[in-house]
Amino acid sequence: MPTLSRTIPATLGPRRPALLGLILLMLATLLPLHAQADDDALVPPKMIPLSVMLDWYPNPVHAPILVAKQRGLFAKRGLDVDIQSPADPSVPPKLVAAGRIDLALSYQPQLHLQVDQGLPVVRIGTLIATPLNALLVRADSGIDDLSQLAGKKIGYSVGGVEEVLLAAMLEHHGLTLDDVEMVNVNFSLTPALISQKVDAVTGAFRNFELAQMKQEGVEGKPFYIEEEGVPTYDELIFVANRDT
């Protein structure tokens, strides 16, 4: 009677060592790749430097940017964000145009003026999508209507755009820029108004300078720009160099 053999046929013998060798070779190749993948997961991503210049010194309107920086949200996206404040509030878009800053906060009306002047800047995002700009006077000034600004001194900080917006507001009340005296007070909108070096300031933010005045014990009276003949617009936008 024929018997069943449990031995491997001689024809398969030489293939078994070759197959084992192939498997070992594959493992030897894949293990370093797996180890490298684990190592890469532990290595932090390469950080991309990004300079951002604010439109003013830090204040509540910049909270989303400042909080994101503090909580490391930019770093989690591989961005090493350098937040800077300008020495002059009129220069951030100009520094972007010159390639010295990557991004800057600016104002929508200012962007229109600067593009018309040939600056290579472009809007890439919005921070505040509603007007904050207001013309402020002291509550005890006796000024209840913008027509009463004739012959008065008006402080401003950002040339060009604030003059255009003020001109529209004055025109709404039968006045022109020739009827007032413009005084550049730079960052000192609140101090200039409190000390009565000027009779009014334009370009003040309704959520900031009014609060500053109240903290100093002086009540302010705002004239909101969108109620004085100026169409609504996005107050704070991000601009970048169009050519980069």
CA 152 to chain centroid: 34
State the pLDDT at residue 137.
Answer: 98
State the pLDDT at residue 166.
Answer: 96
Residue 35 makes CB contacts below 8 A (sequence gap 6+) with none
pLDDT in tens, 111-168: 999 999 999 999 999 999 999 999 999 999 999 999 999 999 999 998 888 999 999 9
Q: What is the mean pLDDT of residues 217-228?
A: 96
State the pLDDT at residue 40.
Answer: 55
State the pLDDT at residue 46.
Answer: 86
State the pLDDT at residue 7.
Answer: 38
Per-residue pLDDT band for 12 (boundaries 50, 70, 90) equals very low
pLDDT in tens, 30-42: 445 554 555 555 6
pTM for this model (two decimals) = 0.77
Mean pLDDT, the chain, rounded, equals 87
State the pLDDT at residue 34.
Answer: 52
The rounded distance, in Å, linking the Cα atoms of 149 and 189 is: 17
Q: Is the dihedral of CA 221, 112, 170, 160 positive or negative?
A: positive
Domains of the chain: 48-131+235-241 (3.40.190.10), 133-227 (3.40.190.10)
Q: Where are the beta strands (DSSP E) in 107-226?
A: 121-128, 133-138, 153-156, 181-184, 200-205, 220-224
Q: What is the mean pLDDT of residues 49-71?
A: 96
pLDDT in tens, 79-108: 999 999 999 999 999 999 999 999 999 999
